[in-house]
Amino acid sequence: MTQTLKNMEPARRLNNLRLSSSELTGGKTGKVTQAVADLDRRFEEREVAAYAKKLGLPYFNLYAFPVDQAALGVLTFEQAAKAEVVPFYRDKNNLKLGMVNHNNPNLNEVLSYLEKGHYTVDVYLVSHSGYANALKGYESIKIKTDSAEKLVVSDNVPAAVVDLKTLAASGPDILQVSATEFLSKLLTAAVSLEASDIHAQPEKEQFSIRFRIDGVLQEIARFHITGYHGFISRIKILAKMKLNVTKVPQDGSFVINASGHQFEIRVSVLPATYGEAVVLRLLGEQVALEIKSLGLRDLAYQRVADVIARPHGLILTTGPTGSGKTTSLYAFLKEENQPGVKIITLENPVEYRLSGVEQIQIDESLGLTFANALKSTLRQDPDVIMVGEIRDFDTAETAAQAALTGHMVYSTLHTNDAAGAIPRLLNLGVRPVILAPALSAVIAQRLVRKICQNCKTEEKLSPSMYARVRAILNSISPAAGVTVPKDLKFFHSPGCAVCHYIGYKGRIGVFEVFLVDDAMQKLIFAESSTVEIKAQAARSGMISMIQDGLLKALEGTTDVAEVLRVTEE
């Protein structure tokens, strides 16, 4: 087909014009030449459209279509030219691809490459002229692409942090550093400080950069606004976003290598008053922790260890976003992960990788929800199932039924405390007759920052605060088996070079755990209130999250201020 298009006879088409020699002279020459070229293209498009219809393929007139630069970035120029294709439109992971020759031997290689990148591809037959014109778009992004590929995240941490401070003081001279170099320094500093997120927020004359470290935002520096446009453009190119779209939110991602580890950077861009605000989330190669590393202690640890050893049941972790629920569930799965146990997880997104575990990515845009994925999973004969989140009746009912039919089911729920999980499930519509025998245990948790052990010193509480803390610790149920010392000694960290003068380094969980025993089942059947459930859990030996946190403060793991910040409502 390509050869046919190349070998069309211009003379045959010119005869159709029937122009006299006088009309080809003077000022009309340029117009006539353009008219001939336009007629050639129209004739070529008709030929290709007819050929596409004969092949049963969709056709697209690509010549006058504005090619999307974000789509072009999906393939290199060499890949496109080799397979005689051109990506011309992209909406998230949906891609439209123009094709000149359906018999090109390299076509399947490109389609396979796009499939591995999780793209849904619609292929159209296009004319050779339209294809050649679209390829010119690579020239306009060549410089940008080359610059983006030079992004290097180094191990020179002190230099990166110092350079960021220097750039912040340089004012408009920040333009002397390329956007790529600026982003490289930013990512180097973020990885070294173990930040989970980078927040870039534009204002009238400045833009601020903040890192979320151990769950708390820390401002790193403020830079002159003149450097912001190039910074945003570089991120958009890396994340395969549309450069010309600034009024609607966009999401994307890219991958970096730093300190011998690979990080996926998930990008969210949101229109704001003074420009587009950006959040970069750094997702490293996560490794599931051991249960003992989570922070569970004494009776709570023993209860969790006992309940996950059971052959079936429903175990829920509760808490707000970012409280470590998924980390805990993966520690439980790691304990369960044996050659004779089949484990399937349903997640959105998949955050950890566990060898030997089937992990399914939920995608509601494709109709793959937690509820219908869970129903399909049960047909795969699993022993253990992890459901990323329960937020509707179908998921809750199916999870409870699965626990009753011999499966161990782990999931998360958004409630303020452990006692609130039962009323929440009842409100979703799960019947007490199903919930009571299905539910095995509920775990509520938060993450508190650990004080720096290098600069830890003893802390003297005010008399009122000391009395308050003493009252909270004295209210621990005797059934918990915890001994509170007569003299309470607490610690804090003022900050040093080891903790980057923050005073905290790392985080640990504070928990409350109760089992669903006979007494708790009676409360479920009676659809009791959260207050009644909490009182029964305390009588059975549950300590609250604030009590658990203060016990960790007594051990010198964290401080009182941090415990109260995280656990008090």
* Per-residue pLDDT, 144: 43
d(CA 208, CA 219): 7
> Which band of pLDDT confidence, cut at 50, 70 and 90, is reported for residue 152?
low
Least confidently predicted of 132-146, 217-231, 325-339, 427-441: 132-146
Q: Print the SS3 string covering 133-145.
A: HHHCHHHHHHHHH
Q: Percentage of residues in the chain with pLDDT exceeding 90?
A: 53
Least confidently predicted of 174-178, 304-308, 495-499: 174-178
- State the DSSP code for 286: B
**Strand bridging mode 261-272 / 250-258:** antiparallel
- Residue 20 buriedness (CB in 10 A; 0-12 / 13-18 / 19+): exposed
Across the chain, mean pLDDT equals 85
* Per-residue pLDDT, 32: 62
Nearest of 179, 180, 351, 212 to residue 279 by alpha carbon? 212
Of residues 517 and 43, the one with the higher pLDDT is 517
> Which band of pLDDT confidence, cut at 50, 70 and 90, is reported for residue 19?
very low
Tell me whether the omega of the peptide bond preceding residue 271 falls within 30 degrees of 0, making it cis. Answer: no
CA dihedral sign of residues 380, 381, 386, 391: positive
- Please check the confidence at residue 146 and state whether its pLDDT lies above 70: no
Assign a CATH topology to domain 150-283: Beta-Lactamase (3.30.450)
> Which band of pLDDT confidence, cut at 50, 70 and 90, is reported for residue 28?
low
**Strand bridging mode 195-202 / 275-283:** antiparallel
Contact 243, 235 (CB under 8 A): no
* Per-residue pLDDT, 27: 52
What the block records as the tokens of 502 is: 């923050």
For 201, list phi and psi in degrees, rounded to 5: -130, 115
Contact 342, 384 (CB under 8 A): yes
- Please check the confidence at residue 241 and state whether its pLDDT lies above 60: yes
Burial 375-401 (b: 16+ CB within 10 A, else e): eebeeeebbbbbbbbbbeebbbbbbbb
d(CA 462, CA 183): 45
- Please check the confidence at residue 287 and state whether its pLDDT lies above 80: no
Contact 399, 409 (CB under 8 A): yes
Q: What is the pLDDT of residues 178-209, one digit of tens each?
A: 788 888 889 888 888 888 999 999 998 899 99
d(CA 390, CA 399): 9
> Which band of pLDDT confidence, cut at 50, 70 and 90, is reported for residue 362?
confident
Q: What is the pLDDT of residues 246-266, one digit of tens each?
A: 889 999 888 888 766 778 889
* Per-residue pLDDT, 284: 74
- Please check the confidence at residue 5 and state whether its pLDDT lies above 50: no
What value does the mean pLDDT take over residues 539-545?
A: 95
Chain-centroid distance, C-alpha 114: 21
* Per-residue pLDDT, 77: 81
* Per-residue pLDDT, 569: 62
- Please check the confidence at residue 289 and state whether its pLDDT lies above 90: no
- State the DSSP code for 248: S
Nearest of 337, 153, 173 to residue 255 by alpha carbon? 153
- Please check the confidence at residue 16 and state whether its pLDDT lies above 70: no
* Per-residue pLDDT, 546: 96
Q: What is the pLDDT of residues 113-132, one digit of tens each?
A: 888 767 789 999 999 989 98
d(CA 382, CA 508): 31
Q: Using DSSP, state whether 466 is helix, strand or coil.
A: helix
Identify residue 71 by its one-letter amino acid code: A
Q: Using DSSP, state whether 264 is helix, strand or coil.
A: strand
d(CA 458, CA 446): 24
* Per-residue pLDDT, 30: 59
d(CA 148, CA 136): 19
d(CA 68, CA 457): 58
* Per-residue pLDDT, 557: 96
* Per-residue pLDDT, 6: 38
CATH for 291-567 is 3.40.50.300
Nearest of 203, 240, 231 to residue 219 by alpha carbon? 203
d(CA 539, CA 522): 15
Q: What is the pLDDT of residues 317-333, one digit of tens each?
A: 999 988 989 889 999 99
Q: What is the pLDDT of residues 372-418, one digit of tens each?
A: 899 999 999 999 999 999 999 999 999 999 999 999 999 999 999 99
d(CA 411, CA 174): 47
Q: What residues have CB less than 8 Å from 193, skipping those under 6 apart?
A: 161, 211, 213, 500
* Per-residue pLDDT, 518: 95
Boundaries of every domain in the chain: 12-144, 150-283, 291-567
* Per-residue pLDDT, 156: 58
d(CA 544, CA 539): 12
d(CA 435, CA 413): 14
- State the DSSP code for 560: H
From residue 132, how far is each of 81, 83, 129, 242, 471 by CA, in Å? 10, 13, 5, 22, 78
pTM for this model (two decimals): 0.69
- Please check the confidence at residue 24 and state whether its pLDDT lies above 60: no
d(CA 471, CA 322): 29
d(CA 550, CA 471): 11
Q: Percentage of residues in the chain with pLDDT exceeding 70?
A: 88
* Per-residue pLDDT, 64: 73
- Please check the confidence at residue 7 and state whether its pLDDT lies above 60: no
